[in-house]
Structure 1
Amino acid sequence: MAQVLEFKLPDLGEGLTEAEIVRWLVNVGDVVAIDQPVVEVETAKAMVEVPCPYGGVVTARFGEEGTELPVGAPLLTVAVGGAEGAVAEPAGTAGSTSASTPTSSSVSASASAESAVSSEYSGNVLVGYGTAGPAARRRRVRRETPVAVSAAAPAVTPVAVPVSAPVVPQGPVPVISPLVRKLARDEGLDLREIRGSGPDGLILRADVETALAVRARPAPAPVPAYAAAAAPAPGTPVAAGAGERIPLRGVRGAVADKLSRSRTEIPDATCWVDADATELMAARAAMNAAGGPKISVLALLARICTHALARFPELNSTVDTAAREIVRLPSVHLGFAAQTERGLVVPVVKEAGGRTAESLTAEFARLTESARQGTLTPADLTGGTFTLNNYGVFGVDGSTPIINHPEAAMLGVGRIVPKPWVHQGELAVRQVVQLSLTFDHRVCDGGTAGGFLRYVADCVENPAVLLRTL
């Protein structure tokens, strides 16, 4: 007789308490192997594929795509331990409180599906959008202890999906992420009709949203005179509930919570200065001309930041509000802002103070690519002590950003552009950048903040200043 086991949403670490179901990877009636991914969920940190810790036949799934579940909530039930598995009947009509009764169906289970299940299982979770990936992209998480349910007892009341439910084939359409595919599926949009604007025809979220906007656009019609007269005057407020509502959850919700907390708790102030970056750009060009991996401007600015923080450690700290203490941190874990399709994320370069410009360039490139692919792990997004915000990539000169709580400061870098500049007593065209420092006024005063920013500007204008501390 098969034994029906209940698999719950495991603890995904980093203090995460809930996750949203993005996509089911199995259907009721499917045979799953041990450690096979069964569902893709989105947490406040990253996309995660959750593997099942045992093998057998899926008898029920809990929750539809788009549903948020707390850690410990049931995900699915699996019949294991025999050649026959119980398959849950479809749920009754709406409002019915009776439980579904499992029935037996012959399923040829593999040997791995019939293996004994330990009470504590540790498996691999692939963090990312894909359904498969190299071992380097996997991390360990603790599994909930499987709960045995007698096959003869009445089943719980899941929202069971019928085995015969039709599955719409997706086909080999190149899509940047399952979220984009889900958006198209929810709106009844055939991805084969879309021409992707990404590399090699890759379909991006913007492509799907454009197609939906075109489809929803009504055909133009003549407006009667009486209708024009009855139209609301410009500036008339829109009725509540008439606009589009976008849930603040997942990564966007986590960012919103952090920014709100930062603005509420931290008394921030901002100072800024223009700097002549001509010599810094010339030094970078000389480094890259010497051969070897190319050095990025962001890596050079990171090197300058870490040396400045060594001189002004007040800015590499955090405030313990409960103890009313300033905690100066021993290492610099440098965060940098990265814009992705899922919103703003801040990956963290660990131990940035001990890295060379070449090492920093490689780590920035790795984390940026992971951010774009949605494969950043929670460890990649936590533990920062200072943030470098290169908003110049958006074509702007200055900004007063919100500090990344619970850090104490953020250095902003605008675009580097040719501008008139007085150089050695004469007017010349130089490469100029605006630098800004937003800091927690509790950890230092304006003198310290100004000293830090002036040192950064001096290093940008004359990179040889760094030689004194190397």
Structure 2
Amino acid sequence: MAQVLEFKLPDLGEGLTEAEIVRWLVEVGDVVAIDQPVVEVETAKAMVEVPCPYGGVVTARFGEEGTELPVGAPLLTVAVGASEGASGYAASPSPSSSSPSPSSSSGKGSGSGAESSGGSGNVLVGYGTGAPAARRRRIRPGRLDRAVAEVPVVEAPVVEVLVAETPGSDGPVPVVSPLVRRLARQHDIDLRRLAGSGPDGLILRADVDRAIRTAEETAAATARVAEAPVQAQVPAAAPNGVAAAAGAERIPLRGVRGAVADKLSRSRTEIPDATCWVDADATELMAVRAAMNAATGPSAGPKVSVLALLARICTAALARFPELNATVDTEAREIVRLPGVHLGFAAQTERGLVVPVVRDAHTRNAESIGAEIARLTELARTGKLSPAQLTGGTFTLNNYGVFGVDGSTPIINHPEAAMLGVGRIMPKPWVHQGELAVRQVVQLSLTFDHRVCDGGTAGGFLRYVADCVEQPAVLLRTL
């Protein structure tokens, strides 16, 4: 006998409470293996592929692409535990295991939960299991009908396929679960008027949710029409009192953009920041980098980027000025100086601004930092950064010079205490050794939390960074 198990959106870690469905990786009727990724979601931290702990046939999906779901909300249902002869399919085994399927041992009564129902028990916090995705296969609708018809009525999380009888109906209304019927009743949705999107017209939760949204939009439109005479006398206004222009576009602040907005707002609200800046002659630094990358032979390593050199300079500066590698415990009213440097760097992606973190940057040389920056940047571009790779930074380096601008006043990446901004490096007239010359000049900006230090410390940090940029040999003292 088949059982239809409900798989809910798991806890994705790092305090995340919701996720947006970006792309479904399976369709209704697909056969999935245990721990196979079934949906790609976007959290405030990263893109995550969510694996399903059950193997079987997908009978329903909850939520369209672009829908935001809270942790614990149903993602999909999977029919598991049917034999080939009874229902035309078998629950797919885990690709990494050759042990008998749960259906062959269900009579032993030794398992419970995910184990006894064909699940791996591996609902992961974070970014899914390491098991490879199994090949999906479709089954004919007729086989799915026979499998669903055999689903018994059992306790949650098993979901039964019901037929709802409604007064005055011409016949029974096929509904996927009691939850869907109860949801429709709570919102006064007539199931007889819905066209189910499931197999053979089966009404799914997505159908009821869609009907609820339509009803709410209709009610809102009716209310607006009723209030039209009053509104005609005053300009339309947004909730914050700002007049809304006709045809204005509203873009929800969610996902990465929402997380960035929350963090920047909190930074400006909680941190009394100040900014100092200085112009530096980067001619010698560019010459040193060119010499490094021109080296040949067995000792020649990978190319070193300007950002990697600046990152190495930052770690040396933080060793001299540890006040800036800190955070503030507002409840205890204490400054917490951190033992290691986890260096974040701002990276602009199609999904928005993210800040990957180079762990233990204070233990790495420029070549190692550069390699890690390149690896994390590629993961950021493809949306594959994990939440752990985007958190825990202690100091941030922001190279906005790549956008062709000279300077900026960076906003501190809360709860850190400082951020170094780097403008573009470009030829400018400069007094060098008492004579006017064309030199490669860069503007450096340091925004710092005035609670952790005063201007003297911040100025000393920035001056040391500028000295290293102008005379890279200064770094030799700390290497």
- State the TM-score, normalized to the length of structure 1: 0.73
Higher helix share: 2
Q: Which residues of 2 match residues 51-90 of structure 1 at below 5 A?
A: 51-83=51-83
The match for 2:424 is: 415
* Inter-CA distance 253–353: structure 2 relative to 1 (3 Å threshold): same
* Alpha-carbon distance, 1:247 to partner: 0.7
* Alpha-carbon distance, 1:349 to partner: 0.5
Q: Distance in 2 between matches of 1:125 and 1:445?
A: 41
- Deviations 1:220-278 (Å, cap 9, x if unpaired)? xxxxxxxxxxxxxxxxx974562111111011100100000001000000000000111
Q: Which residues of 2 match residues 181-220 of structure 1 at below 5 A?
A: none
Of 257, 261, 277, 1:256 maps to: 261
- Give yes or no for the alignment of 1:286 onto 2:291: yes
Q: Distance in 2 between matches of 1:297 and 1:70?
A: 42
Q: Distance in 1 between matches of 2:277 and 2:379?
A: 31
Of 101, 114, 118, 2:115 maps to: 118
* Alpha-carbon distance, 1:26 to partner: 1.9
The match for 2:443 is: 434
Amino acid of the residue matched to residue 276 of structure 1? D
Matched residue SS, 2:178: coil
Matched residue SS, 2:410: coil
- Give yes or no for the alignment of 1:362 onto 2:381: no
* Inter-CA distance 153–328: structure 2 relative to 1 (3 Å threshold): same
- Give yes or no for the alignment of 1:467 onto 2:476: yes
Q: Distance in 2 between matches of 1:259 and 1:121?
A: 38
Q: Distance in 1 between matches of 2:416 and 2:272?
A: 12
The match for 1:10 is: 10
Of 454, 457, 467, 1:448 maps to: 457
Matched residue SS, 2:332: coil
Q: Which residues of 2 match residues 316-331 of structure 1 at below 5 A?
A: 316-331=325-340
Q: Distance in 2 between matches of 1:38 and 1:416?
A: 46
Matched residue SS, 1:118: helix
Q: Distance in 2 between matches of 1:245 and 1:35?
A: 38
Q: Distance in 1 between matches of 2:34 and 2:132?
A: 15
- Deviations 1:126-185 (Å, cap 9, x if unpaired)? 969xx988xxxxxxxxxxxx95426477723449742379xxxxxxxxxxxxxxxxxxxx
Q: Distance in 2 between matches of 1:239 and 1:454?
A: 47
* Inter-CA distance 50–310: structure 2 relative to 1 (3 Å threshold): same
- Deviations 1:48-97 (Å, cap 9, x if unpaired)? 11111011122222222221111111111111111389xxxxxxxxxxxx
The match for 1:156 is: 178
Of 65, 88, 104, 1:107 maps to: 88
- State the TM-score, normalized to the length of structure 2: 0.72
Gaps of 5+ in 2: 95-100, 104-113, 134-154, 164-176, 184-195, 202-241
Larger Rg: 2
Q: Distance in 1 between matches of 2:33 and 2:125?
A: 14
Question: Root-mean-square deviation (CA), in Å?
Answer: 2.7
The match for 1:384 is: 393
* Alpha-carbon distance, 1:124 to partner: 6.9
- Give yes or no for the alignment of 1:403 onto 2:412: yes
Whether contact under 8 Å (1:56, 1:80) holds in the other structure is: yes
Matched residue SS, 2:384: coil
Q: Distance in 2 between matches of 1:381 and 1:406?
A: 13
Q: Distance in 2 between matches of 1:457 and 1:152?
A: 69
The match for 1:23 is: 23
* Alpha-carbon distance, 1:109 to partner: 2.2
Whether contact under 8 Å (1:61, 1:161) holds in the other structure is: no
Whether contact under 8 Å (1:370, 1:376) holds in the other structure is: yes
Q: Distance in 1 between matches of 2:247 and 2:84?
A: 52
Whether contact under 8 Å (2:35, 2:122) holds in the other structure is: no
Whether contact under 8 Å (1:48, 1:125) holds in the other structure is: no
Q: Which residues of 2 match residues 165-180 of structure 1 at below 5 A?
A: none
Gaps of 5+ in 1: 86-104, 134-145, 166-236
